[in-house]
Structure 1
Amino acid sequence: MPNILFILAEDQGAHLSYLGTPGLQTPNLDRLARSGIYFENAFVGYPVCSASKAAIYTGLHNHTNGILNNTHNFHKPASAVTNAERGLRLAQTNRINDRFVTLTELLDANGYYQGVTHKLHVLPNEKFPYDEFHRTDTAQMDDFLRRASELQRPFFLMVNIPYSHRPYPNSDKEPIRVQPSKVEIPEFLPDTPEVRKDWAEYLAGIEKMDAVAGTALQKLKASGHADDTIVIYMSDHGPTFQHGKMTLYDLGLRTPFVVAGPGIPAGQRCDELISGMDIMPTLEDWIESRCDCEMKLPADSIAAKSGRSLDEYLQSLDGKSFAELLANPDAEGGHEYIVNEISNRGPLPNDGIQERSVFDGRWKLIYRENVEQAWRQVNADTREKKPWGNRTYGETLRVKDKFPRQYEILAEMDPQNLQGTVRRLELYDLHNDPDEMRDLSGSPKYANERSRLIEALKDWKEQTADESIRLSTFP
């Protein structure tokens, strides 16, 4: 069976020097992208850490898998979780439902030796039977690879890299290579020296992450396993700026995504729509094709006990295999639509604002219910200067008269503190408006696009049994 190295960056948007991001240098990830396939239209399922990971691990949307918003991080084996930790309210309510199989459980049932670095950040721990939990990024990687070889077991190693997560490198205290004058500020942020400094520090965090990814890839090569290992690199969601983390805009949802390894053509780009939820079914397809074997469900899983086969179970997921694209990136094997969700008050059911988006590769519709609540989940690092180093939130407040549109975007993101008006419906043409600044939902000229995406969202609601939205009336 092929080995798997999964490099997961935290809070990184689709920003690489490989993609031409001004001011940024990412030589290691650029090299990885050139050695395999870069997926230009890859998205996470839910734009915050725990929920995004839950969607990746289960192949299911979060209203189904059970984790909505962040949960506790018990980075240790299930046997080490205390009764006090298990009794915490969030540990009981914001967790993956027992009836679903995680990628970790699936690989464990099929003989993989598994490790995870830095943090787990999903629950319950019983559904993540890793053999090793590493506190550091790559320091223990050599020993992990050696043990897997000694045991003659294929390995799965998830390397979580935190450096593109706030707090970024503080350029007031340490020099960074990225120059604020060389960066390009998205249109939804005020273009001031302070925001440029913040964006430059974000890019510096990506460069630090790139160095760690490079170390992981070097260690893989030194182990002699580079030729029998599939490497996946992506992020859990976008960065902590307006239109980023915990929003359904492109900065929050679009992720860099590379797959490289044996049998995967090098130097290719694919523009098919794919999701992090596609990883589990894709790996099952790819593993079986490489080893001429048949994988099985965990024997103690509810799915297996009910008599379902692994193929039947995978067909029931929201994610779909894109293994065909790994053999031929010009094939048609992606999604027709990418649908995303946010439940602002977390575990369902709740009376908070529900947000959904549907995207077809060009047109995006964002739909919300319960907007009269005027309360949205704003993570501390999206707002606070201390300890998170966020310069942009306060700066947008300071220059709101000079940049009224950018302030309006901030106020809509944080309505409970800034009295912003949360819109029920938005429509964007990302080909002509990649920063999603011009809402076309009220224009008769684009009524057909609006209606088409609303119907696609209705179909998705039925297919995924999303009972937390009504989709009954539209503005």
Structure 2
Amino acid sequence: MKLSYIVIFATILILSSCKKAENQVKKPNFILISCEDISPYLSFYGDSTAKTPNLNQLSKESLIFDNAFATAGVCSPSRSSIITGMHPVSIGTHNMRTGGDAVGWGMRHYENLSKDLIDSEGTPFSMYSAVLPPEVKCFTNFMRETGYFCTNNYKTDLQFASPLSAWDENSEDAHFKNRKENQPFLAIFNHMITHESRLWEKSKDSLRVNPNNVKLPSYIADFDQSRVDFARNYSNIEELDAQVGNLLNELQKSGEYENTYIIFYSDHGGPLPRGKRMIYDSGLKAPFMIRFPNKSRTGRTDHLVSFVDIAPTILSLANIDIPEYIQGKAFLGSQKTEEQEYIFGSGDRFDNCYDRVRCIRNKNYMLVKNYYTNKPRYMDIEYRKKIPMMPEFLRMRDDGELNDTQMLWFNPTKPEIEFYDVNADPEQVNNIADLPEFKQKINTMHADLESWQNKIKDKGNIPEAQLLLSNWPNMEQPFTALPEVNLINDKYKVSCTTEGADVVYRYSNSSDIIEELDHWKLYTEPIKEQESKYLHVRSTRIGFVDSKPVIIKM
């Protein structure tokens, strides 16, 4: 009998110990190293023009993706899909750029703005913040709900001001080192050094790369300044590499390196002419790799990945349930799905130039659909014309000095359907849509594109001023309702009548309104009373003006 009791007692101790060990298993961290405007111009993709020792070393320890694509060839729409897991054309973030929310917490409240934007119908309207469907959140919301410390440093550019529910910190000082001890984290670090604007802002800096050593794509005219601009781009990539090295050193010193997924990517393709803003590979295809904790998976894969898949994949790797509304599909982790057959890309308004283009691509072919065939592919965007090579490139166009391939970008019209063999024609300059042997494939992919557009409710056919009016009644930005706070059994229960709104709160020693936006806690359960403290509570929803705080003496 005594022996039986001993066995039972020992079994209980073992089970208890196992349960305790299970509870102490650390959640993985996530570092997202985001850079601007580069195609796979890196040695581990076959282009060794730029010397990138830090990224090269990271690539040897990572899983490299050979078929990773942005949803749009420009910052804001692409970034909106990364943070939400939704296609920009389905949530109204597809027109570049809607407002002044490019960095940090954003404008938050739009009023008295001049009407300086024009939609596809020629209707003028003012800058605005996109209003997303009520169920759509930044995926970091779901990370924070499970205890993650989420930071963004420093660019956002999401087509809307970041909701207070999305980040613990969102500033130039935002950093994973500011978390509580042993708290898991997700930290995004955005590197601007390779942005298109650096092609002219750094034009007087010395070059790290010899212009004579760069290879120009066939669609770019070869002259001195074009070579200098390409060399500047590679030089900026070398500077990026040094910045990435510094960040990786910080992570190693923190002791969290081997418990962290390190995700490196560019927000879309490269900054040079016929790259950024286009939905060919030159605008959509981007470098993408993931270093797994303890280098548990390395090598490379040709798995077809869209950046709309990043959010659900991170949730999957973190073992957080992926909401059903999310359109992206996890390609890793506990909720991994089968590889998708296609990626999709879109292009609409860019600054004050308007076009509408959609593409569908698999590993072998790309179909591009043009809705405005009476317009050239080239858009006369003032921002892009600041690239030093552009004046000479445009002069050569006007003087008839460009060859047929270089003129493709400038031709006054374009076909409704373009079709490319992406393996035989990686630059997409040889349109084979008229070849009879591809007719069936074109019909199939065209039908699949239209099916996808119907499924996600592509909003590209809605004039932007009309789309804005549907989200901003009377062209006024909507406000989030005040949160309702009730004390029940020594805890404060909070709710908000605005559909889709989140609640955030913080403790303070003062009843003064707190303007600083970092460090609001996400409300997930009733709030405990704290002696001699004030409770500040606000509600927030993407695209809405935040509520005023409700302040309670505890």
**1 or 2, which has the higher strand percentage?**
2
**Residues 426 and 440, structure 1, Cα contact 8 Å, conserved in 2:** yes
1:39-438 equivalent positions in 2, closer than 5 A: 39-68=65-94, 69-71=96-98, 72-73=100-101, 75-77=103-105, 81=108, 84=111, 92-122=128-158, 123-126=160-163, 129-135=166-172, 140=173, 144-150=175-181, 152-168=182-198, 173-262=204-293, 265-288=296-319, 295=320, 310-311=321-322, 313-314=323-324, 316-323=325-332, 333-344=338-349, 353-372=355-374, 379-384=381-386, 390-400=387-397, 401-412=400-411, 420-438=412-430
Report the alpha carbon displacement of residue 404 of structure 1 after superposing the two structures with TM. 2.8
Alignment gaps of 5+ in structure 2 = 1-26, 116-124, 463-554
Report the alpha carbon displacement of residue 146 of structure 1 after superposing the two structures with TM. 3.0
CA distance in 1, matches of 2:196, 2:167: 27
Q: Percent identity?
A: 24
Report the alpha carbon displacement of residue 340 of structure 1 after superposing the two structures with TM. 0.9
Report the alpha carbon displacement of residue 279 of structure 1 after superposing the two structures with TM. 1.2
Give the corresponding residue for 1:7. Answer: 33
**Does 453-462 or 351-360 show the bigger shift?**
351-360
Q: Deviations over 1:250-272 (max 9, x none)?
A: 01000100111216544400001
1:206/1:97 Cα in 2 relative to 1: closer, same or farther (>3 Å)? farther
Give the TM-score, by structure 1 length.
Answer: 0.81
Secondary structure of the equivalent of 1:340? strand
CA distance in 2, matches of 1:39, 1:368: 29
Secondary structure of the equivalent of 1:273? strand
**Residues 177 and 204, structure 1, Cα contact 8 Å, conserved in 2:** yes
Give the corresponding residue for 1:301. Answer: none
1:155/1:346 Cα in 2 relative to 1: closer, same or farther (>3 Å)? same
Give the TM-score, by structure 2 length.
Answer: 0.70
Report the alpha carbon displacement of residue 427 of structure 1 after superposing the two structures with TM. 0.7
AA matched with 1:73 = D
Secondary structure of the equivalent of 1:395? helix
**Residues 258 and 294, structure 2, Cα contact 8 Å, conserved in 1:** no
Alignment gaps of 5+ in structure 1 = 289-294, 296-309, 385-389, 413-419, 471-475
AA matched with 1:403 = L
Q: Deviations over 1:29-55 (max 9, x none)?
A: 111111110000000111111111100
Give the corresponding residue for 1:305. Answer: none
Q: Deviations over 1:126-154 (max 9, x none)?
A: 2663222232xxxx47xx3332143x321
Secondary structure of the equivalent of 1:344? strand
AA matched with 1:92 = Y
1:320/1:172 Cα in 2 relative to 1: closer, same or farther (>3 Å)? closer
**1 or 2, which has the higher helix percentage?**
1
CA distance in 2, matches of 1:174, 1:92: 36
Secondary structure of the equivalent of 1:63? helix
**Residues 240 and 381, structure 1, Cα contact 8 Å, conserved in 2:** no
When the two chains are superposed, the root-mean-square deviation of aligned CA atoms in Å is: 2.9
AA matched with 2:101 = N
Report the alpha carbon displacement of residue 10 of structure 1 after superposing the two structures with TM. 0.7
Secondary structure of the equivalent of 1:323? coil
Match of 1:18 among 18, 37, 44: 44
**Residues 37 and 267, structure 2, Cα contact 8 Å, conserved in 1:** yes
Secondary structure of the equivalent of 2:240? helix
Q: Which of 1 and 2 has greater Rg?
A: 2
